């Protein structure tokens, strides 16, 4: 029952930034790039969420390796503005610098809602992607956690800022 959750909001807000999860293949030139947000048509519309509505806002379409602190300021500002709506926020982000952006936001302010960062190691369009799993886990996590910054990835939830990408294992881990 919903009253057992820490967060009783029935709406989730997605802020997308690009990253591997949203890359698409261009047959014309053979490139893999961020062109548009794929979260709603490729993932959310396929999930059964009768008690949850969502709003998707695209902040940018960037590979996280190309992000600068100016981009991180834009992301932090969007989170700050969006949290005023009172709904949990899921930030779709590239995995290479996701922990850096989450830590950057953590340094800037304390959120009033749960803010969960997630992404994928493989684009949503690939058969063996982890995108569906990670977004679904972020959705569930957004209902269970108190306000704060988190990374939800591969069946784990990590508190920010003490999280990093382990490139050897191809996932994230908590650090002390």
Instruction: Give the tens place of pLDDT for each residue, 56-85.
Output: 999 999 999 999 999 999 999 999 999 999
Could you check whether the bond before residue 161 is cis, i.e. omega within 30 degrees of 0?
yes
Please report the pLDDT score of residue 2 as a whole number. 45
* Per CATH, domain 2-166 is 1.10.3720.10: no
Q: What pLDDT is stored for residue 44 in this prediction?
A: 86
pLDDT of 5: 57
Q: Measured between alpha carbons, how far is 66 from 35 in angstroms, rounded to an integer?
A: 14
pLDDT at 4: 53
Label residue 51 exposed, middle or buried (CB < 10 Å: 0-12, 13-18, 19+).
exposed
Contacts of 159 (CB under 8 A, 6+ apart): 148, 149, 150, 174
CA-CA-CA-CA dihedral for 74, 157, 124, 40, to nearest 10: -60
Q: Which residues of the chain are modeled with pLDDT < 70?
A: 1-6, 31, 33, 41
Nearest to 74 by CA among 84, 65, 86, 62: 62
Residue 133's Cβ-count burial label (10 Å; 0-12, 13-18, 19+) is middle
Residue 1 has a pLDDT of: 38
User: Is the Cβ–Cβ distance between 135 and 153 less than 8 Å?
Assistant: no
Domain boundaries, the chain: 2-166
CB atoms within 10 A of CB 101: 23
Output the pLDDT for position 39: 78
Interior/surface letters 17-45, b for 16+ CB within 10 angstroms, e for the rest: bbbbbbbeeeeeeeeeebeebbbeebbbe
């Amino acid at each position: 029952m919903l009253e057992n959750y820490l967060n009783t909001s029935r709406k989730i807000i997605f802020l997308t930034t690009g990253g591997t999860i949203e890359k698409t293949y261009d047959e014309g030139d053979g490139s893999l790039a961020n062109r548009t947000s794929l979260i709603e048509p490729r993932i959310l519309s396929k999930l059964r969420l009768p008690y949850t509505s969502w709003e998707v806002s695209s902040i940018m379409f960037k590979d996280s390796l190309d992000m600068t602190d100016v981009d991180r300021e834009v992301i932090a500002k969007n989170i700050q503005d969006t949290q005023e709506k009172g709904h949990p926020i899921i930030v779709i982000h590239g995995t290479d610098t996701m922990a850096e952006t989450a830590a950057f936001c953590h340094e800037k302010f304390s959120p009033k809602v749960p803010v969960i960062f997630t992404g994928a190691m493989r684009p949503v369009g690939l058969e063996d992607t982890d995108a569906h799993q990670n977004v679904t886990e972020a959705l569930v996590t957004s209902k269970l956690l108190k306000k704060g910054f988190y990374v939800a990835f591969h069946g784990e939830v990590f508190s920010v800022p003490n999280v990093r990408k382990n490139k050897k294992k191809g996932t994230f881990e908590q650090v002390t």
